Chains A and B, each alone.
Chain A
Amino acid sequence: MNLLNLPYEKYKLSSGLEIILFQNNTLPFTAVNIWYKAGSANEVKGKTGLAHLFEHMMFQGSKNVPKEMHFKYIQEAGGTLNASTSFDRTNYFEKIPSNDLELALWLESDRMGFFLEALDQVKLDNQKSVVLNERLERYDNQPYGLAWEKLIANLYPENHPYNWPTIGHYNDIESYTLDDVRSFFQQYYSPANATIVIAGNFEVDKIKSLIEKYFGEIKNNSTPTAINSKPFQLNQNKFLLFEDKVNLERIYIAWHSQSAFGPDDAALDILSDLLTGSKNARLTKKLVYELELVQDVNTMQFSGKYGGHFMIVATAKPDKSLEEIKKIILNEISILAEETISTRELERSKIVIKSNFIYSLQNIDTIADTLNLYNFYLGQPNSFNFDLNRYNSVSDEDIKRIVKKYFQTCFVELRIVPEGKNAN
């Protein structure tokens, strides 16, 4: 599809910093999006959450930018900004009126090159306290908020990089020192470990010389340590039961699946849509409409660089049994291993996916981040059509095959029940 073919230019500075340019001068603004190849997978036990701490520390100022001023400069220029951390990477992004694009380059380069000069204990203590509160607000004090970390801790082996949550464990967050921050920065925040996407309104020659001006002199520190991830599998089903401050019981079932853009990754996404992507999806129709056993049911193919899992989550209606819900879920899945799904079902998923590709082009920040994502996982930023074709080429036979391959193996089952309701 022509619309999904995005012309771009990719090159490297002598430091190894990778640059991707995508021009669209019909917009009056420009997106700047940086991926550092540093996520929670790069952490060590005892210091979990350190990659995410950077998402905070990087806004605490650098040699030439005082604390708080990063936000202030961008907002005063009419820009928006944020950052996020996942298992595999941390991204930093702003969208800014194009006449202030240089401002964004100045800010991003100052923290890439001169962050450590401005680091101090007061800033670290303050942001540790903020992150602890973030953890309390988003996980510990949320109903079902600890389910994800309990699940991955049991699904991935102890030494696997996806064994702990991105936010980090409470005690680990409390333990960070200035040395921890310095050494993580030196290992992972080097130019050669980052890719910058500039998308939107700019002049090509001018942007290239500005990028050289601001980033050219930034030297590499050390080379990041490679992640060591061994193949693994579950040898038996695991059953976990936890009490939480909730009123409705919830069940999670998870199987190991495929890594991002791995052989069956797209087919597993389609399977997820077939199961719970719409009112007519198999599990939704059965459990929400026909039997009214659940309040909600969702599935997802989670996939990263070093592995993936397929997860089903269902919240029981009051007084409905998780045991029965589980039985129906497993039964619906086993049906898919035997019966061929209808052409219309498969077609419906593919049309929804194709439409979503086009809807996502409305936003220049989304485009910039997707270019970085494709570049990170596939080495080729302009992979929109390639990605869409991954979905288009999934057949009904593929669905049958992946159900047999991934779902007739061992799984982790987690149940979260109201306090006082029979957990140990």
Chain B
Amino acid sequence: MQIDRKSRPLSSGRINFNVPSIQTFELNNGLKIYFIEKKELPLIRINFLVKNGSRFDPQNLKGLTNLLSMCLDEGAGKYDALQLADEFEILGAQFSISSDPDITVLSLQVLQENFIPALSLLGSVVTEPHLKESDFQREKRKVLARFEQVKSEPDYIAEVSFEYFLFGSESPYAYPVIGIEPTVQNIQIELIRNLYQKKFFPFNSFVVVVGNIDSKSLQSELNSIFSNWKVVSTIEEPLINLKKSQRKIFIINKKDAVQTEIRTGHLSSKRSEKDYFQKQIMNLVLGGQFTSRLNLNLREKNGYTYGIHSNFNYFKEAGSFEVSTSVDVENTVNALREIYSEINKIKDGITEDELTFSKASLTKRFPANFETYRQIASNISSKIINNLSEDYFETYIERVNSVTLNDVNKIAFESIRPSELMIVLVGDSNKIIGQITNDEFGEIVVLDFEDVFKK
């Protein structure tokens, strides 16, 4: 049979997809629950979120929130650290705790048959952690050893240095979540206990549940475990100090490194429904996926890199625009020039074809964002953390489709600011500096990683 292979086969029909509906309810003590019933598999996933992130850490105690997260499951209720882990494991439950600048998440995935005992363990971790001195000291020593380890990780160095120079030492977003060595040295168990008392209470938390259970039994289980959990407190929001970033190039020297890690970008606005989709579409075109302008240029045309990405990063109280890649040393500045050229070009706007591609990609992919229990739980979490509108997911496709070329081009022009681009390079400064012509990227500062947080 001879077939026509010349052109793309046509799509057949339409996809049926409905966003899963969220049920919400509240326990007597004010703890809010967001629940999605999902029955395909006998499992349940819980994200327990506490509005506490590293941005709340005092200047001299950076890393405090992270250490509290590390200590929370080192003993709770009836069990010491190892017993508690053993109890989770014998249920086949996956349990972990992590913090970012804005939020702490305790996540649990467990088979339906083991849900009740696993939930009870989660309850212990949240409401009655031991926070013992000896466990704390061990976890603190882990973090201190980690600081030694990261000194040899170029991508880590690039990322944390970029954020530090971008936000400026005064900003609560300037420091890595794990803190830095001198501030972690300052942390003592009393500070960890105080932080727990201050932040872990029902009004400052919420729970997302996705799984194979009916709403009534879920409510009664949650009630029996969390209804006695009461701490009254208020949250102080730290001041967010944001300055315009400077056109400057920081080279963090790593002698004989065979590649250079590149980060460049500037501050940007917080997430807002006014311009979120416009920025997302522009970013898809610039560096948000494989066939983006940056990747086609630096990887598929010039072969400078294995991959390059651009992003708008959104924190609760701040935002940034960032391009990241790593390239062979000899092409460090060639790569930077191409990045700059693409950034400058995107200010002139995107094409109708690029707009069509981006909208199609976002809207048609949407159903696959709700495939796993984890994806659903994290979508709901993100909706709440970012205060997205009630019908955010229901109107997502419609909203993406309503974005016009003009909307995107206006945002591209306003939100990309080449004169504010700050650069961090991690690589062999001797081999890099000679490639730079005069002040094409602004003032050059060469330093060692050890000196980054002293600036």
Contact = CB atoms under 8 A, between A and B. Distances in A.
B368 interface: yes
B15 to A, nearest CB: 5
- Residue among A78, A127, A361 with the highest chain B CB neighbour number at 10 A: A78
Chain A interface helix/strand/loop/mixed: helix
Given A27-B371, A99-B15, A362-B373, A143 B152 contact: yes
Contacts of A217: 1, 3
Interface stretch (A5-13, A325-333, A343-351): A343-351
B86 interface: yes
Nearest to A29: B368
A98 to B, nearest CB: 7
B153 A143 contact: yes
A80 B365 contact: yes
A364 B372 CA distance: 9
A77 B365 CA distance: 8
Interface in A268-308: 278-280, 285, 289, 292, 295
A17 to B, nearest CB: 16
B142 interface: yes
A280 B86 contact: yes
A77 B364 CA distance: 6
A3 interface: yes
B371 A130 contact: no
Contacts of B302: 129
Interface in B1-26: 1, 3, 5-17
Contact of B43 (A71, A359, A363): A359
B361 A78 contact: yes
Contacts of B9: 102-103, 105-106
Interface string A93-134: 001011110110110011000100000000001111111111
Contacts, number: 204
A361 B89 CA distance: 20
A133 B257 contact: no
Interface stretch (B47-55, B59-67, B293-301): B293-301
A262 interface: no
A289 B138 contact: yes
A26 B38 CA distance: 12
- Residue among B12, B361, B368 with the highest chain A CB neighbour number at 10 A: B368
Contacts of A348: 86, 89-90
A76 interface: yes
Interface stretch (B143-151, B218-226, B386-394): B143-151
Given A289-B82, A317-B145, A103 B11 contact: yes
Category for how many chain A residues contact B: 35 or more
Nearest to A140: B258
Contacts of B398: none
A103 B14 CA distance: 15
Contact of A279 (B81, B141, B254, B326): B81
Contacts of A29: 15, 367-368, 371
Nearest to A214: B3
Interface stretch (A191-199, A245-253, A403-411): A245-253
A421 B291 CA distance: 45
Given A247-B149, A278-B89, A134 B365 contact: no
A68 interface: yes
Contacts of A232: none
A295 to B, nearest CB: 5
B11 to A, nearest CB: 5
B160 interface: no
Contact of A289 (B7, B81, B90): B81
Category for how many chain B residues contact A: 35 or more
B301 to A, nearest CB: 7
B42 interface: yes
Contact of A3 (B42, B110, B363): B42
Nearest to B85: A279
Contacts of B42: 3, 358
B306 interface: yes
Interface stretch (B91-99, B122-130, B183-191): B91-99
A144 B86 CA distance: 31
A26 B40 contact: yes
Contact of B82 (A63, A125, A285): A285
Given A102-B12, A247-B152, A280-B82, A78 B363 contact: yes
A17 B109 CA distance: 39
A133 B327 contact: yes
Nearest to A113: B5
Nearest to B329: A136
Given A28-B15, A95-B368, A99-B15, A129 B360 contact: no
A214 B43 CA distance: 39
Interface in B251-300: 254, 256-259, 289-291, 296, 299-300
A106 B91 contact: no
Nearest to A362: B372
B371 A355 contact: no
B303 A126 contact: yes
Contact of B16 (A28, A285, A355): A28
Contacts of B100: none
B291 A75 contact: yes
B89 A280 contact: yes
Contacts of A47: none
A351 B15 contact: no
A279 B385 CA distance: 31
Given A28-B367, A141-B258, A246-B152, A359 B94 contact: yes
Nearest to A122: B301
Given A216-B1, A352-B92, A358-B42, A78 B366 contact: yes
A131 B363 CA distance: 32
Contacts of B256: 245
Contacts of A99: 11-15
Contact of B111 (A279, A295, A318, A355): A355
Contacts of A27: 371
Interface string A50-76: 000000000000011001100111011
A71 B1 CA distance: 28
Given A29-B367, A106-B9, A141-B259, A292 B141 contact: yes
A325 to B, nearest CB: 14
Nearest to A273: B89
B357 interface: yes
29 contacts: A27-B371, A28-B17, A29-B15, A29-B371, A68-B296, A71-B289, A75-B361, A76-B360, A77-B360, A78-B366, A102-B12, A128-B303, A130-B303, A133-B259, A136-B326, A137-B305, A142-B154, A143-B149, A214-B3, A245-B256, A246-B152, A248-B148, A279-B82, A292-B138, A318-B145, A348-B86, A355-B94, A355-B110, A358-B41
Interface of B: 1, 3, 5-17, 40-43, 81-82, 85-86, 89-94, 109-111, 138, 141-142, 145-146, 148-149, 151-154, 254, 256-259, 289-291, 296, 299-306, 326-328, 357, 360-361, 363-368, 371-374
Given A78-B365, A248-B149, A363-B372, 19 more contacts: A3-B42, A64-B5, A72-B291, A75-B365, A78-B363, A99-B11, A99-B14, A103-B11, A126-B300, A130-B303, A130-B306, A141-B154, A141-B326, A143-B152, A143-B153, A217-B3, A289-B82, A318-B148, A358-B42
4 closest Cβ pairs, A-B complex: A78-B364, A129-B303, A355-B92, A279-B85
